[in-house]
Structure 1
Amino acid sequence: MSKIVAELIGTFTLVLFGCGAAVLGGDHVGQLGIALAFGFAIVAMAYGIGPISGCHVNPAVSLAVFVAGRMSAKDMALYWIAQFVGALAAAAVLACIAGGTQHGLGQNGWGPGYGGGYPLQAALVFEVVMTALFVIVILGSTGPGAAPGFAGLAIGITLAVIHIVGIQVTGVSVNPARSFGPAVLVQGQALAQLWLFFVAPAVGAVLGALPFRFKVLQAA
């Protein structure tokens, strides 16, 4: 139960801080500030709940950990539930603070009218590749032989860099729960495009985890 509660709180924090920076402070902090908000949120939670649950706070990460052989299917399913509930709760709190959803909740998307107007193909490639790289950093920095105490920094910095690169492409998901919370409340195009932010991170997670599963990537 401690792990489930930790994952709920961690995902809630990530979505509230990251999407909150975009919705409440985006005009002032810009793309870099939003990227750092997501990255710093992960760093904080890595050290806050990492010792309890591993701080996945992302269904794609839990899938990658499962594929790599580091958790059971049952635990993965329970983590997923906690992560989606935490993300939805954070989006609801953000909507309450922002006075509704009329200005958005930091939802992900692509195409005309969103960010840089990148097409579906670009969004798909970005989310698959970045999720794969993200889980490689996570699995590598938390696996045997990794430098103790530095995983949170490595993971947070990586997430921040991914946002710096890709906010204009998709708003950056690499996390189905992060996309789910805002999309459910905003509805419309955000909900219609939600499928990509489930499919692409899942594919990326598997691609990133397989080298660890088959020991192509392992500590010397």
Structure 2
Amino acid sequence: MTGDYGHSFAGELLGTFMLVFFGCSTVAVTVLFSAYTGLFQVAVVWGISVTLAIYATRHLSCAHLNPAVSLAMVIAGRMDVRKLPVYWVAQLTGGFLAGAAVYAIFSPSMAVVEAARHIVRGAPESVLTAMLFGEYYPNPSSPVLCSVSPAGAFAVEALGTFWLVLIIFALTEGCNVGRPSSDVAPILIGLTITVLISIFAPLTMAGFNPARDFGPRLFAFLAGWGKVAIPGPRGGFFTIYILAPLVGGSLASLLFHKLLEPLMRGKHGACSCKDHFSL
């Protein structure tokens, strides 16, 4: 792999690794050590992780770091469809390697917690440690018992990704005269993730990124969690954590590209640039 494709692959793999490693490590220290005592604290660290990953890798790729964002960019004509497999493979590989790194660091502590709570890895109760990697609905760590149907979880993941992608387009589209500078946009994208996690995490753990979920989830499946990881205690991981973000992001792309962007062009003239980077 050479040239532009090689740069794109390297950037997406490294950036996705960074955000998944930092984010999943945040979940790990919360579950294993109670390092964070509130959802907002976890959400802020996730948001910072996204911001850092974008700043670190946007010189290599467009820093999508999310298959749903990459698909949205193709739909809007911002990226050549021929690049999509390169982005997707790099993102999923980065997520898988991040899951492996999290396991390597926190495995001894996971074993202690599992022994203390008489958790057999691969049994239904091992979702407590499996959630260090993938996401589940309703959130196993939620202090309030709640019921989330598969349809409801699908709607949450699709809606969260819809808002994420829509805001990304608004922040990075040249014809939006209210957009921030490209130096500031990654911070606002990170804050968007913070807001979305703060709202939706009690329901579905707030994935909004198939690479963030499936990469480390696949590692957990291979590392002994088995059916607890895939398909999960309630099943539906593919439709809820992979398909739903792709649908939500695609709808946001269509809305912006077909409706909002033409309105902006009509009022302010031709777009001056098409910069894009994101989660």
The reply to whether TM is greater than 0.5 is yes
Q: Do 1:11 and 1:83's aligned partners in 2 also have CA atoms closer than 8 Å?
A: yes
Q: How does 1:58-77 map to 2 (within 5 A)?
A: 58-77=66-85
C-alpha displacement at 1:106, in angstroms? Answer: 3.7
Code of the residue aligned with 2:161 in structure 1: it is T
Residue pair 2:139, 2:201 contacting (<8 A) in 1 also: no
1:203 is aligned, of 223, 242, 247, to 247
- Shift of the 129–68 alpha-carbon distance from structure 1 to 2, 3 Å rule, reads same
Aligned twin of 1:191: 230
The Cα offsets for residues 116-166 of structure 1, whole Å up to 9 and x where unpaired, read as 442222211111111011001111111114322221012100011111111
Query: C-alpha deviations, 1:24-43, integer Å up to 9, x for none?
Result: 23422132222112110111
Aligned to 1:57: 65
1:129 maps to which of 151, 159, 163? 159
Q: Deviating runs (4+, > 6 A) in structure 1? A: none
The alpha carbon displacement at 1:113 in A equals: 5.0
Where does residue 110 of structure 1 map in the other structure?
137
The CA distance in 1 between the partners of 2:42 and 2:173, in whole Å, is 29
Tell me the amino acid that sits aligned with residue 55 of structure 1.
A
Partner of 2:213: 179
**Alignment-mate amino acid for residue 126 of structure 1:** V
2:168 is the counterpart of 1:138: yes
Find the counterpart in structure 2 of residue 38 from structure 1: 46
**What is the one-letter code of the residue matched to 1:8?**
L
In structure 2, what is the Cα distance between the partners aligned to 1:71 and 1:81?
16
CA distance in 1, matches of 2:141, 2:152: 13
Which residue is 2:258 aligned to? 214
Does residue 20 in structure 1 map to residue 25 in structure 2? yes
Deviations 1:44-73 (CA, angstroms, capped at 9, x unpaired): 122221233121000001011111110011
Structure 2 alignment gaps of length 5 or more: 1-5, 111-120, 122-128, 222-226, 269-279
Name the residue aligned to 1:79: 87
SS at structure 1 position matched to 2:83: helix
Pick aligned residue for 1:159 from 189, 193, 201:
193
Once the two structures are TM-superposed, the CA of residue 111 in structure 1 deviates from its matched residue by: 4.3
Equivalent residues of 2:160, 2:206 under 8 A apart: no
Contact 1:141 1:150 survives alignment (8 Å): no
Q: Which runs of 5+ in 1 are unaligned?
A: none
Q: CA RMSD in A?
A: 1.9
Give the TM-score of the pair, scaled to structure 1.
0.92
Aligned mate of 1:8, from 8, 13, 23: 13
Alpha-carbon shift at residue 81 of structure 1 (Å): 0.5
**Structure 1 range deviating more: 187-196 or 37-46:** 187-196
Q: Is the 8 A contact 1:135 1:208 kept in 2?
A: yes
Partner of 1:147: 180
Number of aligned residue pairs: 220
- Cα deviation for residue 173 of structure 1 reads 0.9
Give the TM-score normalised by structure 2: 0.74
Q: Is the 8 A contact 1:128 1:204 kept in 2?
A: yes
Aligned-partner residue type, residue 13 of structure 2: L
Post-superposition CA distance 1:52-97 (Å, at most 9, x none): 3121000001011111110011111100000000000000010111
Percent identity over the alignment is: 29
Structure 1 pair 205–85 and aligned structure 2 pair: CA distance change class (3 A): same
